[in-house]
Amino acid sequence: MQIVKTVEEILKQKDLSKDDIIQLLQTDKTERNLIYNRSANIKEQYVGKKAYYRGLIEFSNICNKNCYYCGIRAGNKNQVRYNLSDVDIINAAKFAYENKYGSIVLQSGEREDKKFINRVDNLLKKIKQLSNNELGITISLGEQTEETYRRWFESGAHRYLLRIESSTKELFEKIHPANKKHSFERRLECLHLLQKTGYQTGTGVMIGLPFQDYGHLADDLLFFKDFDIDMVGMGPYIEHKETPLYQYHNTLLPLEERFNLSLKMIAILRIIMKDINIASATALQTIDPAGREKAIKIGANVIMPNITPTIHRTNYQLYENKPCIDEGANDCSNCMEARIHLAGDEVGFGEWGDSKHYYKRQNIKVKD
- Taking the complex as a whole, the smallest distance from the CB of residue 4 to ligand SF4 amounts, in Å, to 40
- What's the CA gap between 264 and 22, in Å, rounded? 11
Our finding on whether 73 is near ligand SF4 (CB under 6 A) is yes
Among candidate residues 101, 53, 51, the one with its CA nearest the CA of residue 344? 51
Q: Which does 353 bind (CB under 5 to 8 A by kind): ligand SF4, ligand SAH, none?
A: none
Q: How far apart are CA 119 and CA 102, in angstroms?
A: 23
11 binds, among ligand SAH, ligand SF4, none (CB under 5 to 8 A by kind): none
- Kindly tell me which of 42 and 238 has the beta carbon lying closer to ligand SAH: 238
Q: Which of 179, 161, 143, 162 lies closest to 68 in space, CA to CA? A: 179
Amino acid identity for residue 241 in this structure: K
> What does 283 bind: ligand SAH, ligand SF4, none (CB cut-off 5 to 8 Å by kind)?
ligand SAH
User: Contact between 70 and ligand SF4 (CB under 6 A)?
Assistant: yes
* Bridge partners (DSSP) listed for residue 346: 50
Q: Which of ligand SAH, ligand SF4, none is residue 345 near (CB under 5 to 8 Å by kind)?
A: none
Do strands 302-303 and 159-161 pair parallel, antiparallel, or not at all (unpaired)?
unpaired
Single out the segment in contact with ligand SF4 by CB under 6 A; choices: 63-71, 88-96, 289-297, 301-309.
63-71
The residues pairing with 56 across neighbouring beta strands, listed in sequence order, are 105, 306
Q: Which of 11, 40, 57, 63 binds ligand SF4 (CB under 6 A)?
A: 63
Shortest gap between Cβ of 7 and ligand SAH (angstroms)?
28
By CB under 6 A, residue 65 contacts ligand SF4? yes
Nearer to ligand SF4, 296 or 318 (CB): 318
Looking at the Cβ atoms of 99 and 140, the one nearer to ligand SAH is 140
Strand spans (E) along 34-85: 50-60
Size of the site for ligand SF4 (CB under 6 A): 10
Q: Which does 116 bind (CB under 5 to 8 A by kind): ligand SAH, ligand SF4, none?
A: none
What is the spatial distance between Cα 262 and Cα 334, in angstroms, rounded to a whole number?
26
- Long-range contact list for 28-33, CB < 8 A, 24+ apart? 31/7, 32/260, 32/264
CB of 142 to ligand SF4, least distance (A): 5
Contacting residues for 36 by C-beta, under 8 A, at least 6 apart: 263, 267, 297, 298, 299
Among 42, 52, 82, 110, binds ligand SF4 (CB under 6 A): 110
153 Cβ contact partners less than 8 Å away, ≥ 6 residues apart:
197, 198, 199
Which spans of this chain sit near ligand SAH (rule: CB under 6 A)? 63, 69-70, 107, 109-110, 140, 142, 162-163, 165, 206, 237-238, 240, 283, 318-319
Residue 73 contact, options ligand SF4, ligand SAH, none, Cβ 5-8 Å cut-off depending on partner type = ligand SF4
CA distance linking residue 153 with residue 147, whole number of Å: 10
238 binds ligand SF4 (CB under 6 A): no
Rounded CA separation 302/158 (Å) = 16
Query: Contact positions toward ligand SF4, by CB under 6 A?
Result: 63, 65, 67, 70, 72-73, 109-110, 142, 318
